Structure 1
Amino acid sequence: MTITPDEKDWTWVLQRPCPECGFEAGSVTPATTASSLPELLPRWRAVLRRPEVAERRDPQRWSDLEYGCHVRDVFSIFDQRLNLMLRHDDPLFENWDQDQTAADSHYAQQDPEQVSAELLSAGREIAAGFAAIRPEQWQRTGRRSNGSVFTIETLSGYFLHDVVHHLHDVNG
């Protein structure tokens, strides 16, 4: 069953706490992200070990497995974006259709154990990427095609919100 795509512009989470998960992305720095992410990875691994991981509790929401696949891919996409921001002045990010990726990559049929290993690896990689950022680099910018502009600092908060919010989605 196809899920209705989420077409919200979530950049507002940089201005105020998320009413769903309570996360305050506006107070996050790259250093915060680097230190917080390793604490979240075991929670994702526990979610991906659930016996019912591939079952959708609600037909209009992803299963825990699908969310795990998404977060694994979020780690990779944001790592690419972070590296672009470090190597280039004000790069334009490629569009990423997360719903199309879920369908094309068959999230629902992936092996939870493999997803867990890949999520852990990608999570450690992006945590190391954020840990390597020097404060004088925090204001480097990058843009989405819809006009949203991020600094490395705001990207770190936006990214970490996504990870925390999806843990909230799966009761992790």
Structure 2
Amino acid sequence: MAIVPDAKNWTWVLEKQCPECGFDSSSTAAVDVPRLARENAAAWPAVVARPGVTVRPNDHTWSDLEYSAHVRDVFRRFRLRLELMLAEDNPTFADWDQDATAVEDRYNEQNPAVVSAELVEAAEQIAGALERVSGDQWQRRGLRSDGSVFTVETLARYFIHDPVHHLHDVRG
């Protein structure tokens, strides 16, 4: 079953509450993101341990394992983007086709215990990296390939919506 790719531009979550999951990045302080990332990561091992973790509930929804692997990769990708923004002036982020990655990396065939451990570790890495940001570093800029401009501060607030939203997705 092929999942229909999500082509939405989710940057609007920086301006208002998400009507689907209820999370409000617009009122979230970037300094709270490390804690939120850790709290989010702590919930995923239970998701990955569920019976039927590889079962897709319908033709257009990932399995719990696929969501878990995706969230792990979100933590990893945004840590790399953060590091790039701190190391370079106005870097442009490489495109990331998350749906292609799910297929190419065979998310639904990965070992659930490994995905769980890697997700928690990846969350800790981005949380730690964000905790080391200080002062003017919060205003360093980076650009997505579609032209969306982020500061480290807005990148942190934008990023955290994704794992929160997907935890909502798997909890139903």
Same fold? TM cut 0.5: yes
Letter in 1 for 2:126: I
The reply to whether residue 154 of structure 1 matches residue 160 of structure 2 is: no
Runs of 4+ residues deviating >4 angstroms: none
Distance in 1 (CA, whole Å) between partners of 2:114 and 2:73 is 13
The count of corresponding residues between Structure 1 and Structure 2 is 172
Letter in 2 for 1:122: A
3-state DSSP of counterpart to 1:92: coil
3-state DSSP of counterpart to 2:142: strand
3-state DSSP of counterpart to 1:138: helix
% of aligned pairs identical? 52
TM-score by length of 2: 0.97
In the other structure, the counterpart of 1:37 is 37
> RMSD between aligned alpha carbons?
1.0
Instruction: Please say if residues 28 and 153 of structure 1, whose CA atoms lie closer than 8 Å, have aligned partners that are also in contact.
Output: no
Instruction: Please say if residues 30 and 133 of structure 1, whose CA atoms lie closer than 8 Å, have aligned partners that are also in contact.
Output: no
Instruction: Please say if residues 3 and 59 of structure 1, whose CA atoms lie closer than 8 Å, have aligned partners that are also in contact.
Output: yes
Distance in 1 (CA, whole Å) between partners of 2:13 and 2:42 is 25
The structural deviation recorded for 1:135 is 3.3
In the other structure, the counterpart of 1:118 is 118
List runs of 5+ in structure 1 lacking aligned partners.
none
The reply to whether residue 4 of structure 1 matches residue 4 of structure 2 is: yes
The reply to whether residue 49 of structure 1 matches residue 41 of structure 2 is: no
In the other structure, the counterpart of 1:96 is 96
Distance in 2 (CA, whole Å) between partners of 1:89 and 1:107 is 34
Distance in 1 (CA, whole Å) between partners of 2:110 and 2:145 is 30
